[in-house]
Amino acid sequence: MADGVVGQLCAELGQVARRAELRARGADARTIRRAVAVGEVVRVRPGVFACPSLPAPVMAALRHGGVLGCVSVARAHGLWVLPLDHIVHVSLPPHGHARPHAGCACVQHWNDLGPARTSVDLVDALLQIRTCLGDDAFFATVESALHRGVLTQSARADLRVRITESARWLVDFARTDAASGLESLLRVRLHRLGIVARPQVEIPGVGRVDFVIGDRLIIEVDGRAGHDERRDRHKDRVRDAVAAAHGFDTIRFDYDLVVHQWDLVEQAIVAKLGRRLHLDAWAERLRIG
């Protein structure tokens, strides 16, 4: 066979091919060995070959004996995920065989899913995220997928059908306008407390804010980027001052607070709401009196 044919066959088969599949299409053992030697394909594990252009996480999953799964699939789609690391999550069939490899730190998921060449589909990955990382991480990634348009309405309906009944409200509660996963985490956690946080509210003179609770409490959630420079911090302080001049209170939380110190965030919001209700009641008494 001519040079390049094995690589072409591998690409046609979905970028991953078993030795038997290549042999069935006319590639003998010598031709396959030569294709590996010249870098036309990569031998990822015994009897399995892949196109060298595959991303490193996909290669790691294939070497491990499965395909890319869970948060690794979400990352490949450019979605917001927890945690912020680069550990590869691998989806293996129930009777599959895990193959630890050099530098392996893979997280394994054993699921009875449909056949996949390189990765599970997004709905399967989202369901794995919920099992692996919990409801909040799942919800944040679902909202990110909706915001970026990679989770279609039909896929969302499929997700709702396949998820456990007790968690369907998370799929229903998800919106398409969540600007960041931090906002998603804050909204779903406040919802559990019975606190309604209206997202992306436009306030005259101030601009669009992340959340408004009640009539006068603004919540801003600052990610790791965009609020570190001195100029950005000054701009935020100006917004807060303008909001205060209009009678609003503003509380700001960063990534580490929302993700790692939620109890403190919750206490601050509940305390501020209690104080605001007290002040509003006091002002109303003064007005009536």
Same domain, 168 and 61: yes
- Do 185 and 155 reside in the same domain of the chain? no
User: Residue 227 has what DSSP assignment?
Assistant: S
Contacts of 241 (CB under 8 A, 6+ apart): none
- pLDDT for position 289: 44
Strands 67-68 and 48-50, by their bridges, are unpaired
The 8 Å CB, 24+ separation contacts for 102-105 are: 103/60, 104/60, 104/63, 104/64
Residues 103, 139, single domain; the answer is yes
Task: Give me the chain's average pLDDT, please.
Answer: 90
pLDDT in tens, 126-167: 999 999 999 999 999 999 999 999 999 999 999 999 999 999
Instruction: Please tell me whether residues 49 and 61 are part of one structural domain.
Output: no
**Pair (10, 28) in one structural domain:** yes
CATH of the domain at 263: 3.40.960.10
Q: Could you give the number of structural domains in the chain?
A: 3
Average pLDDT over residues 2-14: 89
pLDDT at 226 over 50: no
Out of 157, 173, 189, a domain closes at 173
For 17-67, the DSSP string reads EEHHHHHHTT--HHHHHHHHHTTSSEEEETTEEE-TTS-HHHHHHHHHTSE
Q: What percent of the chain has pLDDT over 90?
A: 77
- 50 and 64 together in one domain: no
Tell whether 61 and 150 lie within a shared domain.
yes
**Between these two residues, 233 and 208, which has the higher pLDDT value?**
208
Confidence class of residue 281 from pLDDT cuts 50, 70 and 90? very low
Rounded to 10 deg, the angle between the 122-133 and 153-162 helix axes is 40
Give strand pairing partners of 119: 68
d(CA 271, CA 267): 6
Check whether residue 199 and residue 243 sit in a common domain. Answer: yes
Could you tell me where the beta strands, DSSP code E, fall in the chain?
A: 16-18, 42-45, 48-50, 67-68, 89-92, 107-110, 197-203, 207-213, 217-222, 249-254
CA-to-CA separations, 41 to 9, 19, 73, 118, in angstroms, rounded: 10, 12, 23, 15
Tell me the pLDDT tens digit for each residue of 41-55.
Answer: 999 999 999 999 999
Query: Does 97 share its domain with 62?
Result: yes
At 287 the pLDDT is: 47
Look at residue 236 in the predicted model and tell me its pLDDT: 86
Residue 170 confidence (pLDDT): 98
Mean pLDDT of all residues in 109-119: 89
Q: Are residues 48 and 137 in the same domain?
A: no
Last residue of a domain, one of 124, 146, 173: 173
Range of the structural domain that residue 103 is part of: 57-173
- Same domain? For 275 and 192 the reply is yes
